[in-house]
A and B are shown apart, each in its own frame.
Chain A
């Protein structure tokens, strides 16, 4: 289900509540660094924003294109590696070309988007499990490439990316608020860009491709081209996350694009909810917070393995709500309406299917 695909219609009660929550949250985030904790600004939330952007590229492909891509982590890594190779100077691994920071950003995004175009063109004729396998291959290629081609990285990765940021970004260590706001604004831009694109002819026809590609062909559409361009757009989004990650972490290593990281991004998208773009950031937030705080909880069972506990929490989320945390919200809303006595049908109408005629 893709709630943004429909043409503007009267705002439902649920839309209104979501709008109020969203605006409140945004205001909260906008002022958070003024009184917030340094670690929450520099680590938890900045990371949430940028991981959310990468996850949003996956949610976009899945929700609107029907393409579950395992290559999004690789693409955002490629962007960070490209940035690292071009921007760093001196005694670090990689090419350390020492380019102008902004130029390096533009090139990193352009290179990643171009690679996304090629990846997308190759994968666009497949669907389902085959598409999944092809994108998995991309992930493996990226990991192996950066691990073994020591000229551009090697296993220890490229460090010092954060030493050469544009003046606007400053030093992410001593000026974390700047990167926080840049990541927040980028996340917002990505969010609204996706919401906009899915209402355009390109976006609507992408959803048509998702629902029935053969039918789209008989309506006159070039299905492979649509898939390719959607993949390219998603690569562009992922490249933004990669640049932010480079600045934020300072280091990019092959393990950032390894299988573990690839699965992590999938987990983020799934626990957030693959059906709605907001889910990307919700999932990223849950992922970062759970990963970060559960390990300080002492675990009396399971041999004290917090990793197992984290896994179980994610499992529980998915079992309780297969459509993730956003899906949970949708269901809670419906349930609340039902108890009120307006009936499930009316709730479904208000919540998910728009006003009935």
Chain B
């Protein structure tokens, strides 16, 4: 991993993984991953289904504990810290299956994302001014994700594409320092993908983005660096151009799939 080490020299990494592994019984979903992501970077994580991308997200976000290795976030060892502490530090993520609060309205979903990283989780009274301010932020995030037309609707009644938009709005609303999106484009129409790509390209420069994406057009347009995973391990890391040129990547993954719709949704 000399390449990773060289990359890390350019700035203090916002995320540093060392020897991270996650086992499910006998299955090594993620093994021995080293990764450095510097502030403001746009990173894509690629790999075939079952490569361990989502598991990697889960251990980084704290939804799953690691079975080995160390995770540093914003220069702090968070290996043993729960998901909520990592969220407080400035990490926001989305999920492959959107994982929204189906019984709540769009606005309340986004509201929760904002309150979650702020204070007053337990405030049991309505404070009109404070709430209005929070809700204004929620509506702004909804506007950026182009879902502001459905603010009052209960999320359970929305279509799939709209769910992705709500998930994105929630991720944006938290104003994270590190944003991790798990296949944000899956299930979106061509037009919606276009919107998504523009949105990602227009992201604040200080937001660090890690993206799992099967849609190569989006991934390679947005990302500055690409990490390629296979069977739980990082096999290649480099710029989009380097990745495009890499024979191994072609053999393993890109091949005939390049630029086309990936099959199946669930990757490991």
Q: Which A residues contact B (CB, under 8 angstroms)?
A: 1-2, 5-7, 9, 196-197, 199-205, 207-208, 210-212, 214-223, 225-226, 229, 233, 352-357
Contact = CB atoms under 8 A, between A and B. Distances in A.
Contact of B84 (A204, A218, A352): A218
Contacts of A203: 124
Contact of B104 (A5, A202, A355): A5
B126 A199 contact: yes
Given A6-B108, A200-B124, 13 more contacts: A6-B104, A201-B134, A202-B123, A202-B124, A204-B111, A208-B101, A216-B116, A218-B83, A218-B84, A219-B87, A219-B92, A220-B174, A229-B122
B121 A221 contact: yes
29 contacts: A6-B104, A6-B105, A6-B154, A7-B105, A7-B107, A7-B108, A201-B134, A204-B108, A205-B115, A205-B116, A207-B101, A215-B95, A215-B99, A215-B101, A217-B63, A217-B87, A218-B87, A219-B84, A219-B112, A220-B87, A221-B84, A221-B112, A225-B122, A226-B122, A233-B124, A353-B153, A355-B152, A357-B152, A357-B153
B111 A353 contact: no
A202 B124 CA distance: 5
Contacts of B88: 220
A202 B83 CA distance: 19
B23 to A, nearest CB: 20
Given A7-B152, A202-B121, A355-B152, A220 B126 contact: no
A8 to B, nearest CB: 9
Contacts of B115: 201, 204-205
A90 to B, nearest CB: 41
A39 to B, nearest CB: 38
Contacts of B152: 6-7, 9, 354-355, 357
B88 to A, nearest CB: 5
Contact of A218 (B62, B120, B121, B126): B62
Contact of B105 (A5, A210, A352): A5
A212 B170 CA distance: 15
Given A204-B112, A216-B116, A225-B122, A354 B103 contact: no
B154 A357 contact: no
A215 to B, nearest CB: 5
A86 B61 CA distance: 51
Contacts of B170: 219
A12 to B, nearest CB: 11
A2 B131 CA distance: 20
A201 B154 CA distance: 17
B154 A217 contact: no
A204 B95 CA distance: 21
A201 B138 CA distance: 13
B218 interface: no
A352 B124 CA distance: 25
B63 A214 contact: yes
B104 A204 contact: yes
Contacts of B100: 211-212, 215
Task: Tell me which of A1, A202, A355 has the highest count of chain B C-beta atoms within 10 A of its own C-beta.
Answer: A202
A211 B103 contact: yes
B112 A208 contact: yes
Nearest to A196: B126
User: Which 8 pairs of residues, A with B, have the shortest CB-CB distance?
Assistant: A219-B116, A220-B87, A220-B116, A211-B101, A217-B83, A218-B83, A357-B149, A202-B124
Nearest to A203: B124
B89 to A, nearest CB: 9
* Best-surrounded residue of A207, A211, A355 (most CB of chain B within 10 A): A211
Contacts of A204: 104, 108, 111-112, 115
Nearest to A211: B101
Contacts of B87: 217-220
A225 B84 CA distance: 12
B112 A212 contact: no
Given A7-B105, A199-B126, A218 B93 contact: yes
Given A200-B125, A221-B121, A212 B99 contact: yes
B171 to A, nearest CB: 10
B62 A1 contact: no
A273 B151 CA distance: 27
B154 A1 contact: yes
Nearest to B88: A220
Interface string B70-113: 00000000000011101110001101000111111101110111
B135 interface: yes
B117 interface: yes
A136 to B, nearest CB: 26
Contacts of A221: 84, 112, 116, 121
Given A208-B112, A211-B103, A196 B125 contact: yes
A197 B123 CA distance: 9
B108 A202 contact: no
Contacts of A202: 121-124
Among A1, A218, A352, A353, residue most surrounded by chain B Cβ atoms (within 10 Å): A218
A217 B153 CA distance: 24
A353 B153 CA distance: 6
Given A5-B103, A5-B104, A217-B63, A226 B121 contact: yes
B78 to A, nearest CB: 13
